[in-house]
Every structure is written in C-alpha cells, then in structure tokens.
Homo-oligomer: A and B are copies of this chain.
C-alpha cells in the first residue's frame, strides 16, 4: 500500500495522480489542497505514525509535492491539531496519549451529542432521509464484511464516518458540525488500530448503531443522546484497550521521537 509515486518533480507536474484511496473529495484544485488532504488522510489512517518526525524533504520525495506545498499543508494541519511544530525544529505528527483520548472522548460526548440533540429537535425533513441512507450503507458494508483486507476496513471506516455525520447533519449550527468532524477525525487515529485487531465487528456494535438510529428516527432525543454517548464511550474504551493495553501509556509526548535513522 502507499504506492509512493515519487513523480519526476522536474518539469512534469501532471495533475498528481492520487496515490491513496479514492476519497469522496473532489479534485484538489491546487497542489496544496492535494497535499493537505493526502497528509491528513495518511495521518488519520496511521500511515504516518503518531509522533513521527515529518521531514520536508522526505515528504517531498515520498509524495511528489513541492517543498512549499508540503510546508503550507503542514501549516494547516497544525491548526487542525493533527501536526505540531516548533520554531526551528520542524514538524511532527501529534502524539497519541491516553490522556488525549480521554479528552477527545469527553469533548465528543459534549459536542457530538449536543449536535445530535439539535438535529432531532430542529432537523429538516431531508435530514431523516440522510440518516436512513447512511444507515443502510453502513449495514450493507457491515454484513458484507467477511475478511479484513485494508480496502474492506477502509470502506467500513468511511461508511461509519458517513453514518455519524449524517446523524448530526440536521444540526443548524455549522460550528458544532465542524467541531464534531474535527473530533471525529482526531478520534479516528485511535479507532483505526482497534479495527485492525478486531476485523469482524462483534461487540454488538451494530446493535449500538441500531439503538441510536431507532431512537433518533423516533425523535426521542433523550434516548438517542444517551445511546450515542454510550457508543462513544464504548468505542473509546475499546481503542484504549487496543492501544495502551491495561496499564501505562505508550507514547510520551515529550520530544519528538524519531522514527527514521
């Protein structure tokens, strides 16, 4: 995976053939946009590991973007919280810690749940349609999951994101939706490892989804919010167990821990 194009960066700057999976994103327009989304995806998916140093030259050669594009993309990712940087010492992927996961989970239980509540209470009619559609897609993907190839897993992850976003897409507040997306993507960095270890989703995850959907479509805000909060908690617990095991933290946030010699 990660085909590493290494595009002859001399004269041909040909539209940058996508190395990664086809995303629902439309054509990137500028190279910077492309670099931004590519790096973002690879950080969330763990291709660029937590705490990994992000050398400009390495990224330039690996992805075939120009140095400027890489730098600007990294700048945006800093504001997104996926990348950190220090004055003259460059960039690195934000570390993964148990405390950060706990914080993400707590914040999601405030913001995503509130967004769901507003969706239920204020969402327009077509919102219900989106929920039904996304639920259907997710179910289709889940029932057809027999093996755990990267493609299948990625498909499920995308369907799961679609599902969560559809749930809150009736919320009238753009900011709440934006924060929900941000927190979801941050959490995705943690969840990804869980999915890798637990190929076929047992643990009654589908059941949790069903409960959320049922309560939502019944416009029972209290029940739906409680179910969503529970779901977020369970997911985070599973991720914590998969990543940090029972005991201590795995990554220290201290200095950037190099990965390459």
Footprint of B on A, CB under 8 Å?
29-30, 32-33, 68, 71-73, 75-81, 86-88, 103-104, 106-107, 110-111, 114, 172-176, 178-179, 183
The answer, among B76, B110, B173, for a CB contact under 8 Å with A103, is B173
Whether A107 contacts B75 by the Cβ 8 Å rule is: no
Whether B29 contacts A88 by the Cβ 8 Å rule is: yes
Closest B residue, CB atoms, query A186: B175
A103 and B33 CA atoms in complex are apart in Å by 27
A260 and B77 CA atoms in complex are apart in Å by 31
Contacts A72-B72, A75-B75, A76-B76 given; does A173 touch B30 at CB 8 Å: no
A68 and B79 CA atoms in complex are apart in Å by 17
Chain B residues contacting A76 (CB-CB under 8 Å) are 75-76, 78-79
A175 and B81 CA atoms in complex are apart in Å by 10
Closest B residue, CB atoms, query A68: B68
Chain B residues contacting A88 (CB-CB under 8 Å) are 29-30
Among A30, A86, A87, A107, the most chain B Cβ lie within 10 Å of the Cβ of: A107
Write the nearest CB–CB distance from A84 to chain B, whole angstroms. 13
Whether A107 contacts B32 by the Cβ 8 Å rule is: no
Whether A87 contacts B173 by the Cβ 8 Å rule is: no
The answer, among B72, B86, B106, B173, for a CB contact under 8 Å with A173, is B106
Contacts A111-B111, A114-B110 given; does A75 touch B32 at CB 8 Å: yes
A176 and B103 CA atoms in complex are apart in Å by 9
A88 and B30 CA atoms in complex are apart in Å by 7
Chain B residues contacting A175 (CB-CB under 8 Å) are 103-104, 106-107, 183
Chain B residues contacting A183 (CB-CB under 8 Å) are 175
A106 and B176 CA atoms in complex are apart in Å by 9
Closest B residue, CB atoms, query A79: B79
A175 and B76 CA atoms in complex are apart in Å by 18
Chain B residues contacting A30 (CB-CB under 8 Å) are 87-88
Write the nearest CB–CB distance from A166 to chain B, whole angstroms. 20
A71 and B71 CA atoms in complex are apart in Å by 10
A86 and B179 CA atoms in complex are apart in Å by 22
